[in-house]
Amino acid sequence: MSTIASTTLAEVASEWCTEAEIQVQSSAVAGGRNVTRSVLFIGNPSTVTEVTHWAAVRHWTVEQGLKPVRELQADVLYAIVTEAVADGTCASADAAVVQRVRARGLDCIPVYDIEPWGTARLSGALPPTSAP
């Protein structure tokens, strides 16, 4: 796989994801509290294929009513990680986040393990939603 020489593709993917995130409607509200559920994305995609897959998974996440985040929060259900993070060849800051995620008992799913575009592995990780 080729490494991304410029940030153009990454910027386009980021803009596409940001636009999708803006369209996310508020989650169900219970007792006046927002019950937003989040998916943590750890790492920075480094190949064209990984950027494309990463963007598609983020978009799928938004379509499921979940909020993609880059910082560990209390409402995180699981984490999606880049290939470098999954291989342990990532920045020490990303490795530290992975340790904190795992300490909470949450899954860290490599972005390439999600086929097709999130539906297989992530659907089982989503907690059931109850109708009001």
Q: What is the pTM of this model?
A: 0.67
Q: What is the model's pLDDT at position 28? A: 38
Q: What is the model's pLDDT at position 64? A: 86
* 34 has pLDDT over 80: no
Q: In 60-72, which positions are buried (b, 16+ CB within 10 angstroms) versus exposed (e)? A: bbbebebbbbeeb
Confidence of residue 60 (pLDDT cuts 50, 70, 90): confident
Q: Report the alpha-carbon distance of residue 43 to residue 11 in Å, rounded.
A: 15
Q: Report the alpha-carbon distance of residue 50 to residue 108 in Å, rounded.
A: 16
pLDDT digits (tens, 9 = 90+) for 94-125: 999 999 999 999 999 999 887 654 444 455 55
Q: Classify strands 108-110 and 76-81 as parallel, antiparallel or unpaired.
A: parallel
